[in-house]
Structure 1
Amino acid sequence: MKKYILSLAVVSLFYTKSEACAWADPDYDYFNLFTQSIIKDKSYLPFLHNYSSRFYTDFKRSQIPDENTESWRKFFNNQLSYSETDFLVNKLSMNDLNDLKKGNSTDTILKKLGAGSYQKYREGIDYLIEAKYLEPYMKINYVETADSFYYRENESDKNATNLDYAKTVSALTSLYNAARNPEIKQRYGFQLVRFNHYTRNFDAALQAFKLYVQPVSLRGAVYYMALDQLAGAQRGLQMGSDANWNFFQVFKNSKSRKEGAFVSMKLSDTASFNNILKRAGNNDEKNMAYFLLGYEDFTNPIPMMEKMYDIDPNSEILKVMAARSINELERSYLPTYYYESEKSATTTDVKTSATVTETKEAKPKELSFWQKIVLFFKNLFSSKSDKTKDGTKNDQSDDELLENPNRIPFYTKNESYYYDEKQKDFLDELEKFTDKTKEKSNDEYWQIADAYLKFLKKDYKASTEILDEIKTSNPEYLEEIKRMKVLNDIVSQPKITAEYEDHLMKDYAEYFAEKKIEKDSTNEEGYDYYGSPPSTDSFLKDVLANRYFLQGEDGKSFLMNNKLSDLQYNPNSTLVKSVEDFYRKADKTQFEQQIIAKNMDDVGNIDAFFNLIYGDRAMRLADFDKAKSYYQKAQSFAGIPRENYETYNPKTDKYEKLVYDGTNYDGFKNIPNLIFGHNVWESFQSSDSESMSTENYSAFTFIKPVMNKLELSEALIQLKKIGNGKDQKAAEANQLIGNLLYNTSVLGYYREVFVMDVDNSNGGKYDFWSTDKKSPYQYYYKNFTSTTYVEPDNFDLALNYYKKALSVSNNKEQKARLLFQMASAEQGKYYQYEAKNQANIDYADPKWSEKNDAYQKQMNDLKNQKYRTYFAQLKSQYSDTETARTLLGSCSYFDYFMKR
C-alpha cells in the first residue's frame, strides 16, 4: 500500500465506507456516460442530477439565456448581439450612459446603436441610468441576531435603507408616470416593488405591485422579476401560501430565475405541495407541481413521472426527470470502482478501506445461433499464439465469458453517505416507462434514453437496433448516439482477441489515446481539486481491464489501470509473472504496444526490476540458491521507484523527498549485518542500532558489515552448508538463518527488505492475511496500490532453522535465546490464525459484549494451549539463564507469562 505523508494518512481514516471526506466529490464516483444536458430546454440544466451541490453546475451559464437581456435586445431593435446587450445592461458604467446622453460617447457598443441613439431610445437609456444608480443599494438590510452565522467581512455595507426612502419612492413614481413605453413603465414599477421589499416595507411592496406593475398588460421578463420581489415581500408578511404560489409562477415562466425561485419556495412539507396543486388552474401548472414534488423526493421517480406522462408525454420537464432517473441508476451500474463483495474480501485491509457492496447477479445475454456459428469457426481457425498460458480462465467459451456474473457493468448497491436505505434498482420500471413514452413523443430523446437503459440491462443488440433507427440532426443527440454505439460494440464483445484489438485501434483510437489534462476552469485559481473527471475513455479502460481479468490475461488487465512501477506496492509473484509474460511477448498488437505497453514506465532496467521481485520471493521461501540466480540478473536495479515519496526526517523535522544517495537502502544495496541479529526491544520507529543487536559473526567472515542482496544470498548459501553440521558452529549458522527469516517477516524489524518497500514504517503490506485466497481481486486490478496483495509469511521456515540450531547447540544461553526467537515466530502463526477466524459479531446485537467476551476467552485459551509451546519450554527449562533475565526487562509479555 502506498505510504503518504501524515496529513493524507489522517484523511484516510475518514475515507472508508462512506467516502465522506470534506472534499470528496460524489459526482466523480461514476462515469456519467449518459449526457444529462442533452435536454432541449436548457433553462432546466440546474435541475439535473448531482450530489456535490444544491444544483447541477456542469454546464456553461451562457447556455441559459437571461430573458431580461433578451427583452432589452428587442427594445434596441436587435442592433446589438446578446453578449453586447448583456454588457450594456449589466456591466457598462453609468458614466458611459450619461456621456451618451450628453452626445459625447466614445463607447464602441453604444456607437453601434447609430446616430441619434439617445433620442431614439431615450426612455430606455434614462431608465438604465436610474437603475445603475440604484443597483449597488438593492440588497435587503441585514439584521444581525444571536443565531447569525455569516461571514460578511468582504461584503459591501450598502443596502436599500441607505437611500432616502421618501425621495426614492417619489422619484421612481414620477419617472413611472412620465414613461410612455409600457415596458419601461413596468420596469419603474419593478423598481418600486423591489425597493419597498428591500427596505422591509412589505405592505408598500404589495401595494406597489398592484398599482404599478399589474396595470401594465405585459407578462414578460419584467413582470416576473417584479412578481419575484412581490413573493419575497409576502414571505416577509408570513403569507407563505401566496409567496409559494408566486415563486412557483416565477419558476414556471422564467428561464434564468428558476434556481432562486425554487429555493425561495421553501417546499419543505407535503402541505406546501398540496397548496400549489390546489391552486393549479391548468395542466401545465399541475405538471410543473408534480415535477417539483418528484425533484424533492427522488427515492423512486417513476410514480411521479407517470402522473406527468398522463398530463403531457411531450413535456420538456418529463425529459428532465428521465435524465435524473437515468443518472441515479448510472451511479449504481457504472461506479468508478467495483468494490469486492463481502464474501470475496480477502484481507483485513480490503474490509476496512473498501466499500462493501451487494451485487445482483448479472443477467446473461445468450449469443444468437448465427453468432455462435461465426465464433465457432473463428475459434477453430484461430492461432495458438492467441492463447495465454493462464489455465482454465483462458479456455472459457464465449457463452461462459458473457455469462460471468463479474462482467461489468452490473448493479451494485452503493452504501456511500449520500444514499439511504430506500435506494432501489428501478431499471425495469424506467425501461417500461421509456418504452411507452417514445411511442407517444416525437422527440428522439426518448429513443436514446430507451437505448441507453437497454445498454445498462446488457441487451446490447436491442440497444444498437434502436440507435440505428434514430433519425435526427440534433448535434448533442448525434454525439450521444455515436458514443453509445461504441459502448455497445465494445461491452458486448465476448472476448478481447488480437483481431478485436486491431478493430479498437482502427475505429476507436480516439477513446484510448492520451489526452492533455486541462485545469479546472470553474475556480478562480485554476486548481483541479478532484483530478480528471471520469469519462467514456476511462470507463472503456475499466471494461477492457475487466475483460482481460476474466479471460486470465492478468498482466494486460493490470496495465490497463496501472503502471509497471505500481507492482512495488504489492509484488505478488503470480501477478508479476503475468505482467512479465506480457512484457516479453514478441508479437504485440498495435493496441498492446500503444495503449497497454506504454504503462511499462521508467523503473530503470525492467529485467532487473522483475528479477529483484522474484529473488525477494525466493528469499522469503528460504530458497537461497534460486534467490542468488535472480539477484545475479538484478544487479543493475535502479532503486525502488518512489518519485513522489516523502518521509519524515527527525534531524530536520521535515518531510523530505526520497533520494538514493548510494548509502541508503534502495531495495537492493546497503543492507546492514544487523539483519542477522535479534531484537533488543520492539520499536520499528527507532534506528536499527537501537532496536537490534548483532550476534557473534566472528566465525562467519563472509558476512560483511554492509551487503547487497546478491552478497546476502551468497552468505546464506554458505550458512546453510555450515548448518548441515552437528557442531556449535552449525547451531550458530542455523540461528543466523532463522534470525534473518524472522527479521524480514511481517513481525521483524527489517520487514521491508523482501517486499519491495523502502523502510519498515507501517502500511498494508504488513497486515495479516485473512484468507488463503491468492488474490483479493474479483473484477480487475483497479485501485491496486490501495489493496494488500503480498503473499503471507511462512513462519515454519524460520522455526525449522531454529529447531536445527536448538538440536545441536550445547550452549544454554544460546538455547534460551533460540526458544525466545521460536516463541516470537510462533506468535506470528497465531496472528495469522486470528486474522482468518474473526468473531464477526454484529455490534447491534444486544448480546454483543457477552459474545465478544466469550470469543476473546476462546482465542486466549487457544493461544495458550497451542501457540505458547516455546514460551512454556523457556519458562520451565531456562528461566535461570542470563538471557531469560534480560528478556524479563525488555519484553513485557514474557515478563507477564513468567509470572503466571
Structure 2
Amino acid sequence: MKKYILSLAVVSLFYTKFEACAWADPDYDYFNLFTQSIIKDKAYLPFLHNYSSRFYTDFKTSQIPNENIEAWRKFFNNQITYSETDFLVNKLSMNDLNDLKKGSTNNSLLKKLGSGSYQKYREGIDYLIEAKYLEPYMKINYVETPDSFYYRENESDKNATQLDYSKTVSALTSLYNAAKNPEIKQRYGYQLVRFNHYTRNFDVALQAFKSYVQPISLKGAAYYMALDQLAGAQRGLQMGSEANWNFFQVFKNSKSRKESAFISMKLSDTASFNNILKRAGTNEEKNMAYFLLGYEDFTNPIPMMEKMYDIDPNSEILKVMAARSINELERSYLPTYYYNAQDSDNTSQTKSATNKNDTNNKTAEQEAKPKELSFWQKIVRFFKNLFSSKSDKDQDGNKNSQSDDELLENPDRIPVYTKNQSYYYDEKQTDFLEDLEKFTSKTKEKANDEYWQIADAYLKFLKKDYKASTEILEEIKTSNPEYLEEIKRMKVLNDIVSHPKIDAEYEDHLMKVYVDYFVEKKVEKDTLQDGGYNYGAPPSTASFLKDVLANRYFLQGEDGKSFLMNNKLSDLQYNPNSTLVKSVEDFYRKPNKTQFEQQIIAKNMDNVGNIDAFFNVIYGDRAMRLADFDKAKLHYQKAQSFSGIPRENYERYNPETGNYEKLVYDGQNYDGFSNIPNLVFGHNIWESFQSADAESMQAEDYTAFPFIKPKMNKLELADALVQLKKLGDGKDENSAHANQLIGNMLYNTSILGYYRELFVMDVDNSNGGKYDFWSTDKKTPYQYYYKNFTSTTYIEPDNFDLALNYYKKALNLSTNKEQKARLLFQMASAEQGKYYQYEAKNQANIDYADPKWSEKNDACQKQMSDLKNQKYRTYFAQLKSQYSDTEAARTLMGSCSYFDYFMKR
C-alpha cells in the first residue's frame, strides 16, 4: 500500500505540510513527553490540551471524582466502596431496592449495608426508588423543526412530558414534605426543579428552586445539581446573564459537572466574560473567570496566567493552564516528523506551495539559536579554525570528526522549534518558551507544589539546557507517584539528548541502562496514558528517543544508521538514492558491530531476501541510468539470487477484474530483475502508461542483433547493451541502428518512458514520487533524519543528454532519411525532458495574495513558453525544416497531437 501513500504524497507537494488531512489525528503529531494529566485536581482533566476533540479525553472517566457518589457513600456511612456506591446509585435495578424495602433482598451489595439497612437508610432508599423511576423520562422533549439536523435513531423516545404532570409534582412535593433528612429533602427539590425544566415550565422551575432547594442551608452535590437545572431553565427564559452566572457557580463548585457547565455557559463573546468577571466577588471566582477566558483564547496564554498568578500562585487551575501551555509548545518542539525547512529555496515541493517573501520564511535553523559560547570555548574554536582548512570542514565525510561543541551547537539538533501551520493556527502563533520559562521559574519560588519544579525542568529541556534541567530534577522531593514517573522519564531524556556524540561507548551505555526504551514491544499507550486510540499506538517516549538517535547519527554523518533507526532496509526501494544506499551497505558490512547496532539497528535489515543481491540491483540500476553498462553488468552478475522487489503489502489495479489485487511474482511478470520485454528497445506508438506495452510500444528491427531476446533479465539486458555499444563504434547502418536502440532504451527507462520503473526499484509504471521532475541542489533533501522516507522524493534525476548523445551518433551515421526523421523525433522527446527539469527548478514565486497574481502568472507562463520554443525545440524545428516530407513525420503527426500542432504553426 505504500505505493498509494506515495502517490498521495505527490499530490500533496502543493502543500508544505501535507499531514493536515481529514483522516489525520493532530494528537498523534507530537510525543507527549510532558504528561498533562499529572495535575492533582483530576476534575480539570477535560480541560487539558488537545486538538482532535473539544475537550481532552485521554483519561478514564473514573479518574474524575463525582461529588454525588461521594455524598451517597457518606450517607451510607462508608459501608460500601466508591465503585459499589456508583453501581447502587446508577445501575442497580429499582426492583432490587423494592425487594430490600420488603425485607427480602438477595443482592450481595445491599447485604453489605448490614441488617436492618432499609430502616436505617429508609429515606435515602425511598428516594433512590423514586429517582430510578423518574430517570428514564428525565429528558427535555425535543421539538422537531423543518431545519432540524439531529441524529436520534438510537435514542429513547421517552421524555418528561410523558409523565402525568400533576401527579408527579404532587408526589415529589409530598415526599419532600415527609422527608426529615435535609440532604434527602433537597434532592426531592432538585427533582422538582429538573422535572419543571424538562417539561419547559421554566418559570415554575425557578420558583421550585426558591421554594424547595434554596431554603435548605446545604451547598453540596444536590444543591449544584439543582442549580445546574435552574440555569437551564433561565436559559429557556432568555435570562442569559443569570444562566451564565449560575452555570459558572456549578463549574466552580462541582467536580463532575465542569465540562457540561462550561458548554452550557455559551461564552461566545467578550461581554459574557466581562459580566462574569464583574460579578466575581472572591479571588477564587476571579481566578476561575480568568481561567475560562484563557481557555477560550489560547494564542498566547502568558498574560492570562500572570493575572491568575497575582491572585493565587498556588491555584490548581493555574497548573492546568501551565500544562496546556507546555503541551502547545511541545507540539512545535517535538513533532513526530520535522519538515525539511531548508528545502524551501531548492525544491519544487516547497516552491509549489504558496510562496512568501524570504523574510517571512524563517527556517528552523534560523529560529533555533545556538547557545552563546564561553570565553574559553571561543579561544578553543579560534585555534581549531586556525589549523583546519575550509575544504576539510565542507566534506561530508568529516561530519564524524566534529567536536563535542560543534555537535551540541548544531541548530538542527532536535528538539527544534518549528512553526506548526497545520492545525487551526494562523500567523499569530508564537514561540512563548522564553516567557513561559520565566513564569514557571518565578512561580516555583512561591508555589508549594513540586509541579512547578517539574514544569521548569521540562522547559529547560526544550531549551536544550539539559544540565540545568537535571539539576532541578535532582532537587525535587516528592512522594507523588505521577510526579516520580515524570521525573524518571525526564532524567532519561536529559541523559540521552544531552550526550554530544553517539559512539560505541555510549551505545553500550544505552543497552546497559536504557535497553527497555529500545527493545521493541507492543505499545498500546505511553506511560501514564489511559485513553483509547483509534489510530494504532500513539507516539511514545521510546519512539522519540529513536528519532533523537536517528537525528544524531544523521548529524554525525552516519546516514546508514540514521536511516535504519526509522526505516526497514526494504524501504530503500521507494527512493533508491545510491549515496544513501552506499551508506546503508557500509553499515551492513561493518565488522564488530556493537550490541546496540546488532539488536536495535541491524534488525531492520530484513525482508529483502538476499541482501547482497538487493544492494547490487540498486547499484546496477544506477549504472544503467548513467549508461555505464559494463559496471551494471558486473553488479547484475552478483544479483542473480535477487528474490524480487519486496512488496508484501502491495496491491495494484487489475483493469480486467476492476479490482486491486495483491502482487504475486508468478515467474511471468516483472519482479525488479527478470521478465523485461525487448520492447524496451522500441519506440512509442502513442503515450499511454496505463495501456499494455504491446499497445503503447512498437519493436524495432532486431534482426541484426540476435542477442536481444524477446524477454530478458537485467544481466542479459546489460550484456545486450554492452554488445550494442561495441557495435555502435562502427561506421555503418548497423552501428547507427545500435546507437538508436541504446538511445531508445535510455529514453524508455527515463521518467518520460513507458518502462520508467525498470531502474528505480519499482514494479510498474504507475504514478508516484519517483516519477516527478523534483530536484535539489543538495545531496539529500533531508535536514534532520530519514523519517517518513517513503513520502519524500530522494532519487537522482535522469540525464537526458545520455540518450541524446547516442541518438546524435545514430543520426550522424545513418543515411536513411526515414530513420533520421524517427531519430529526430526521439531526440525532441528527450529534449522535452530537459525542459521539464528546468521548469521544475524554476517555478514562479508569486504570492496568491498578490492582487496582480493572474497578470504576473500569465507573464511568467509566456516567458517559460518562449524559452521552451527558443531553447528546447531544437530537434522539432530540424524535423520540421528538413524531414517534413517523410512518411515517418506524417505518421508522427497522426499519433502526437503536439507535433501535429508544431508542424502546422
TM-score (norm 1): 0.95
Shift in Å at residue 20 of structure 1? 3.8
Aligned-partner Cα distance in 2 for 1:357–1:260: 42
Question: For residue 631 of structure 2, what is the aligned residue in structure 1?
Answer: 626
Question: For residue 494 of structure 2, what is the aligned residue in structure 1?
Answer: 488
Aligned-partner Cα distance in 2 for 1:205–1:15: 55
User: Are residues 1:454 and 2:460 paired?
Assistant: yes
Question: For residue 390 of structure 2, what is the aligned residue in structure 1?
Answer: none
Amino acid in structure 2 at the alignment position of 1:570? N
Aligned-partner Cα distance in 2 for 1:328–1:93: 45
Amino acid in structure 2 at the alignment position of 1:392? N
Question: For residue 196 of structure 1, what is the aligned residue in structure 2?
Answer: 196
User: Contact between 2:15 and 2:350, CA under 8 Å: does it hold in 1?
Assistant: no
Structure 1 residues 527 and 172: alpha-carbon distance in aligned structure 2, compared to 1, 3 A threshold = closer
Aligned-partner Cα distance in 2 for 1:69–1:467: 38
Give the gaps of 5 or more residues in structure 1: 376-388, 521-525
Shift in Å at residue 363 of structure 1? 2.8
User: Contact between 1:349 and 1:767, CA under 8 Å: does it hold in 2?
Assistant: no
Aligned-partner Cα distance in 2 for 1:221–1:210: 17
User: Contact between 2:727 and 2:735, CA under 8 Å: does it hold in 1?
Assistant: yes
Shift in Å at residue 352 of structure 1? 5.5
Aligned-partner Cα distance in 1 for 2:676–2:199: 78
Q: Note the 1:49-88 alignment, pairs <5 A.
A: 49-88=49-88
Q: Note the 1:459-538 alignment, pairs <5 A.
A: 459-518=465-524, 529-538=534-543
Question: For residue 899 of structure 1, what is the aligned residue in structure 2?
Answer: 904
Aligned-partner Cα distance in 2 for 1:485–1:693: 67
User: Contact between 1:366 and 1:402, CA under 8 Å: does it hold in 2?
Assistant: no
Question: For residue 112 of structure 2, what is the aligned residue in structure 1?
Answer: 112
Aligned-partner Cα distance in 2 for 1:208–1:247: 18
User: Are residues 1:838 and 2:843 paired?
Assistant: yes
Shift in Å at residue 866 of structure 1? 1.3
Computed over aligned residues only, the root mean square deviation of the Cα atoms, in angstroms, reads 2.3
- 802, 807, 810: which is aligned to 2:812? 807
Please, which moves more after superposition, 341-350 or 278-287?
Answer: 341-350
Shift in Å at residue 353 of structure 1? 8.6
How much identity, in percent, do the aligned residues show? 87
User: Contact between 2:346 and 2:841, CA under 8 Å: does it hold in 1?
Assistant: no
- 395, 402, 415: which is aligned to 2:408? 402
Q: Note the 1:12-27 alignment, pairs <5 A.
A: 17=17, 19-27=19-27
User: Contact between 1:349 and 1:788, CA under 8 Å: does it hold in 2?
Assistant: no
Q: Note the 1:551-590 alignment, pairs <5 A.
A: 551-590=556-595
What are the superposed Cα offsets for residues 31-77 of structure 1, whole Å, 9 maximum, x if unpaired?
11111111100100100111111110111111111110111111111
1:425 is paired with a residue whose SS is: coil
Question: For residue 731 of structure 1, what is the aligned residue in structure 2?
Answer: 736
Question: For residue 235 of structure 2, what is the aligned residue in structure 1?
Answer: 235
User: Are residues 1:787 and 2:792 paired?
Assistant: yes
Aligned-partner Cα distance in 2 for 1:342–1:895: 43
User: Contact between 2:678 and 2:699, CA under 8 Å: does it hold in 1?
Assistant: yes
2:367 is paired with a residue whose SS is: coil
Amino acid in structure 2 at the alignment position of 1:273? F
What are the superposed Cα offsets for residues 354-378 of structure 1, whole Å, 9 maximum, x if unpaired?
9987424323236889999999xxx
Structure 1 residues 853 and 373: alpha-carbon distance in aligned structure 2, compared to 1, 3 A threshold = closer
What are the superposed Cα offsets for residues 100-134 of structure 1, whole Å, 9 maximum, x if unpaired?
11111111101111111111111111110100000
Aligned-partner Cα distance in 1 for 2:352–2:584: 28
Question: For residue 378 of structure 1, what is the aligned residue in structure 2?
Answer: none
2:653 is paired with a residue whose SS is: strand
Structure 1 residues 33 and 561: alpha-carbon distance in aligned structure 2, compared to 1, 3 A threshold = same
Amino acid in structure 2 at the alignment position of 1:164? D
Please, which moves more after superposition, 424-433 or 609-618?
Answer: 424-433
User: Are residues 1:889 and 2:894 paired?
Assistant: yes
User: Are residues 1:657 and 2:662 paired?
Assistant: yes
| Aligned residue pair count | 884
Question: For residue 387 of structure 2, what is the aligned residue in structure 1?
Answer: none
Shift in Å at residue 213 of structure 1? 0.7
User: Contact between 2:550 and 2:566, CA under 8 Å: does it hold in 1?
Assistant: yes
Aligned-partner Cα distance in 2 for 1:519–1:303: 34
Amino acid in structure 1 at the alignment position of 2:548? V
Structure 1 residues 528 and 72: alpha-carbon distance in aligned structure 2, compared to 1, 3 A threshold = closer
Aligned-partner Cα distance in 2 for 1:731–1:629: 26
Structure 1 residues 374 and 836: alpha-carbon distance in aligned structure 2, compared to 1, 3 A threshold = closer
User: Contact between 1:141 and 1:161, CA under 8 Å: does it hold in 2?
Assistant: yes
User: Contact between 2:58 and 2:532, CA under 8 Å: does it hold in 1?
Assistant: no
Please, which moves more after superposition, 875-884 or 762-771?
Answer: 762-771
User: Are residues 1:740 and 2:728 paired?
Assistant: no
2:341 is paired with a residue whose SS is: coil
1:248 is paired with a residue whose SS is: helix
Aligned-partner Cα distance in 2 for 1:519–1:508: 19
Structure 1 residues 601 and 655: alpha-carbon distance in aligned structure 2, compared to 1, 3 A threshold = same
User: Contact between 2:567 and 2:787, CA under 8 Å: does it hold in 1?
Assistant: yes
Shift in Å at residue 844 of structure 1? 1.6
2:177 is paired with a residue whose SS is: helix
Shift in Å at residue 421 of structure 1? 2.1
Please, which moves more after superposition, 216-225 or 842-851?
Answer: 842-851
Question: For residue 385 of structure 2, what is the aligned residue in structure 1?
Answer: none
User: Are residues 1:314 and 2:314 paired?
Assistant: yes
- 687, 709, 714: which is aligned to 1:709? 714
Aligned-partner Cα distance in 2 for 1:788–1:162: 65
Amino acid in structure 2 at the alignment position of 1:509? V
1:647 is paired with a residue whose SS is: strand
- 395, 405, 415: which is aligned to 2:421? 415
Question: For residue 604 of structure 2, what is the aligned residue in structure 1?
Answer: 599
Give the gaps of 5 or more residues in structure 2: 356-360, 382-394
User: Are residues 1:550 and 2:555 paired?
Assistant: yes
What are the superposed Cα offsets for residues 406-461 of structure 1, whole Å, 9 maximum, x if unpaired?
11112111111321221111111111111111000110000111111111111111
1:4 is paired with a residue whose SS is: helix
Structure 1 residues 896 and 801: alpha-carbon distance in aligned structure 2, compared to 1, 3 A threshold = same
1:683 is paired with a residue whose SS is: coil
Question: For residue 131 of structure 2, what is the aligned residue in structure 1?
Answer: 131
User: Contact between 1:267 and 1:273, CA under 8 Å: does it hold in 2?
Assistant: yes
Shift in Å at residue 12 of structure 1? 5.9
Amino acid in structure 2 at the alignment position of 1:501? E
Shift in Å at residue 350 of structure 1? 5.8
Question: For residue 391 of structure 2, what is the aligned residue in structure 1?
Answer: none
What are the superposed Cα offsets for residues 706-755 of structure 1, whole Å, 9 maximum, x if unpaired?
00000000101111111111011111111100100000000000000000
Aligned-partner Cα distance in 2 for 1:307–1:372: 42
Aligned-partner Cα distance in 2 for 1:469–1:763: 54
1:685 is paired with a residue whose SS is: coil
2:200 is paired with a residue whose SS is: coil
Q: Note the 1:641-680 alignment, pairs <5 A.
A: 641-680=646-685
Amino acid in structure 2 at the alignment position of 1:839? A
Shift in Å at residue 88 of structure 1? 0.5
Amino acid in structure 1 at the alignment position of 2:758? V
What are the superposed Cα offsets for residues 86-111 of structure 1, whole Å, 9 maximum, x if unpaired?
00100000011111111111111011
2:217 is paired with a residue whose SS is: coil
Shift in Å at residue 771 of structure 1? 3.0
Question: For residue 380 of structure 1, what is the aligned residue in structure 2?
Answer: none
1:668 is paired with a residue whose SS is: coil
User: Are residues 1:698 and 2:703 paired?
Assistant: yes
User: Contact between 2:348 and 2:843, CA under 8 Å: does it hold in 1?
Assistant: no
User: Contact between 1:231 and 1:246, CA under 8 Å: does it hold in 2?
Assistant: yes
Shift in Å at residue 184 of structure 1? 0.7
Aligned-partner Cα distance in 1 for 2:487–2:5: 45
2:314 is paired with a residue whose SS is: coil
User: Contact between 1:193 and 1:209, CA under 8 Å: does it hold in 2?
Assistant: yes
User: Contact between 1:186 and 1:213, CA under 8 Å: does it hold in 2?
Assistant: yes
Shift in Å at residue 531 of structure 1? 2.4
Aligned-partner Cα distance in 2 for 1:366–1:502: 31
Q: Note the 1:745-824 alignment, pairs <5 A.
A: 745-824=750-829
Shift in Å at residue 647 of structure 1? 0.6
Shift in Å at residue 769 of structure 1? 2.6
2:827 is paired with a residue whose SS is: helix
Structure 1 residues 39 and 527: alpha-carbon distance in aligned structure 2, compared to 1, 3 A threshold = closer
User: Contact between 2:774 and 2:837, CA under 8 Å: does it hold in 1?
Assistant: yes
User: Are residues 1:684 and 2:671 paired?
Assistant: no
TM-score (norm 2): 0.95
Aligned-partner Cα distance in 2 for 1:5–1:590: 34
User: Contact between 1:795 and 1:829, CA under 8 Å: does it hold in 2?
Assistant: yes
Shift in Å at residue 646 of structure 1? 0.7
